[in-house]
Amino acid sequence: MSSNRFPRTARVRARSDFDRIFKHGRRVALPVLALHWQADDAEPRMGLAVSRKVDPHAVGRNRIKRILRDEFRHRRANLATGDYVLVARPGAARCSGDELRAALQSLLKRAGALRPDGSSPSGGPQAASAHAQTPGSTASPGSTPGDAALPLSPAPGTMPPAACPADLPPQSP
């Protein structure tokens, strides 16, 4: 998809679709964003949930949605098919645009929906994550990318408390 538009057909809009994705989809999360993804055969579609808990001001909520929508639109051609719902968390209001983009990219990679090299995944979430070669993984010479040792996922609840530099204390020299 080379279009610069984000058409209505690329959006998750119906409540029943949101409920289906939340109930049956795969979830990966960071302190500032959560991604719910349900793979299917349709083109990638995105839904957004940014509540007043994230930012009490509409301007702030709209900024978060605009940044995430734009990043999804640019990455849409390289994503696995399916429905994606992004849920912003309160820390997202303190993040810059670049930090929100990086968080979305990280979630897409962790979910297996985006290849680390940015190329289009072939065969859904397992194929994309099975061929991922991460900087810390090792592969023997002559082996295929699928033979590479994949890093283990962190245990639930062991993520750092904040992903935004604004949440970090200032460093003294």
* pLDDT score, position 140: 43
pLDDT in tens, 95-108: 999 999 999 999 99
pLDDT digits 0-9 by tens, 111-147: 998 755 555 444 444 433 334 444 444 444 444 444 4
The identity of residue 73, as a single letter, is: R
* Residue 34: both structure tokens together: 């959560």
Q: pLDDT for 52-89, tens place per residue?
A: 999 999 999 999 999 999 999 999 989 999 999 999 99
CA dihedral 25, 26, 31, 33 (to 10 degrees): -50
pLDDT at 7: 84
Q: Is 160 left (phi over 0), alpha (psi -120 to 50) or beta?
A: beta
Say what the pLDDT of residue 156 is: 53
Nearest one of 101, 126, 125, 128 to 117, comparing CA atoms: 128
CA distances from 16 to 20, 21, 22 (A): 6, 9, 10
* Predicted local confidence at residue 136, as pLDDT: 43
Please state the pTM of the whole predicted model.
0.66
Q: What is the C-alpha to C-alpha distance for residues 119 and 136, in angstroms, rounded to an integer?
A: 20
Domain parsing of the chain, residue ranges: 18-112
Whether residue 36 has pLDDT greater than 50? yes
**Tokens coding 15:** 């409540």
Q: Which CATH class is domain 18-112?
A: alpha beta
Q: What is the pLDDT of residue 144?
A: 44
